[in-house]
Amino acid sequence: MWLELYLGVTLLLIVECKPLTNGKHNKLLVISFDGFRWDYDQDVDTPNMDKLVKDGVKAKYITPPAITMTSPSHFTTITGRWIEDHGVVHNMMFNSTTHKKSSHRVTMKTSEWWDNGALPLWITAQNQGLKTGSFYFPGGGANYSGQSVNRVLVEEPGQPNENETQWRENIDTVLSWFTEDDMDFVTLYYGEPDRVGHAKGPDTPDRKNIIKQIDRTIGYLRESIQRVGLSQRLNVIITSDHGMTTIKKKPLVDEIVLSKYVNLFNLVYFELLDYGGFGMITPRKGKEQEVYESLMKAPNLTVYKKENLPENFHLSKNDRIQPIIVIADLGFNLNSRLIVYVNKGDHGFNMDEMDMKTIFRAFGPDFKNNYLSEAFDSIHIYPLMCKLLRITPAPHNGSLSITEGMLVQNGGKTNQMSIGVLASIFVYILFM
């Protein structure tokens, strides 16, 4: 009798300690709110985000890659590669030989800009038998080396960036991909609060209002997950690509007009400027040192030769990076020729500036509750996603050791099993 009781108690403890997924992966939704600075929810009432912290995981902040722009940052997240490895070095597709420059929207649909050998997670997951989809998520024309994503939507001109009804419809669509199409991994993108940050500035009531809207959207997401029966099958990661800072303007400061310091017509062969705080320049042949020394005279500007870029930028090894790189001090806009800049907020500044840091939240069956993570680089999100999907990662620069503490099975389940084993030993001794 005592042996039967012992075996019964032990079996009960083992059942209670079994992995949530029984050896199978849960589904994964990754949502990016463009330009969501790490502290945007700290001066706004955000009950849904606050509850999400208690019900899941929060990182103190995320550090984006060195070029704090939308496309380079998003592609770093979805590949786990540094910019010098994945080759998406700008929002615009360009050719420094032909001087061709394409708009951001055109670039988004052009696979050749993105298909540089670094596979995005959509393709890696598909190659291992999973079904994947992308809803507006910056990552190219969805065709890599002849492989296409199962389901992809690319943002079109005139798409309502701030329409809350449309936001909820997008969530409904994505959740239907999980429930009706049985997809395993989907990414979803929203262009806010980036748009408001640029147009109105990060320290305005308009930005606070859009954060409240995002909070309501997260509340709707959680309600919808419950409604469609995915609460025990869907993990969700919420993050962003970069932060935002207020642009300093006249009469308070002098804008950095580069034509004051270097003759762009005579000395420069190709340039990518007028983009917030980041720019690249190809001097005319034999003029490299002259251009470099001239730019060094500009205030509030850091100038690098490509070969002297700091190692932690992870930029210098890619051919698309031009010979001279300029990064403005926080809040100082680059302007190549004329003062025509209208944005009240921008990014593109040094990734180590706190205003460039962004958010990370996560919840679902595989994530711990009420867990605060230390800050980490965005490249480490990739191996975490692969772990959740139980797939073998493509080559990447991240490390699972940075994020695996967020997961229930890392520590939580092991500890429970240890308690179960100890309890069973106690029962055995008690009834011997």
User: Among 249, 242, 257, 427, which residue's Cα sits nearest to residue 347?
Assistant: 242
Furthest-apart CA atoms within the chain: distance in Å: 96
70 is catalytic: yes
The pLDDT tens digits of the residues spanning 363-382 come to 999 999 999 999 999 999 99
The yes-or-no verdict on residue 274 having pLDDT over 90 is: no
Average pLDDT value for the chain: 87
Instruction: Return residue ranges of the chain for CATH 3.40.720.10.
Output: 27-245+351-411
What is d(CA 403, CA 295) in angstroms, rounded to the nearest whole number?
41
What is d(CA 117, CA 74) in angstroms, rounded to the nearest whole number?
16
Query: What kind of fold does domain 256-342 have according to CATH?
Result: Gyrase A; domain 2 (3.30.1360)
Instruction: Return residue ranges of the chain for CATH 3.30.1360.180.
Output: 256-342
pLDDT score recorded for residue 215: 98
Binned at pLDDT 50, 70 and 90, residue 337 comes out as: low
Q: What is the mean pLDDT of residues 402-413?
A: 79
Query: Which residue has 């997401």 as its token pair?
Result: 221
- Interacting residues of 64 by C-beta distance below 8 A, sequence separation 6+: 73, 76, 241, 242, 243, 351, 356, 357, 358, 378
Query: Which residue has 């980041």 as its token pair?
Result: 278
The pLDDT tens digits of the residues spanning 14-43 come to 333 333 344 589 999 999 999 999 999 999
Task: Return left, alpha or beta for 22; rule: phi > 0 is left, psi -120 to 50 is alpha, else beta.
Answer: left
Query: What kind of fold does domain 27-245+351-411 have according to CATH?
Result: Alkaline Phosphatase, subunit A (3.40.720)
Which burial class, exposed, middle or buried, applies to 267 when counting CB atoms under 10 A from its CB (0-12, 13-18, 19+)?
middle
144 C-beta neighbours (distance < 10 Å), count? 22
**Tokens read off for 180:** 């009706």
* Helices 47-55 and 205-227, axial angle in degrees (round to 10): 50
Binned at pLDDT 50, 70 and 90, residue 2 comes out as: very low
Indicate yes or no: pTM above 0.85: yes
Q: In terms of DSSP bridges, do strands 94-95 and 100-101 run parallel, antiparallel, or are they unpaired?
A: antiparallel
Output DSSP code: residue 358: B
State the catalytic residue, choosing from 46, 63, 68, 70: 70
Helices (H), 190-258: 194-200, 205-227
For residues 373 and 92, the answer to whether their CB atoms sit within 8 Å is: no
| In the chain, % of residues over pLDDT 90 | 74
What is d(CA 211, CA 42) in angstroms, rounded to the nearest whole number?
10
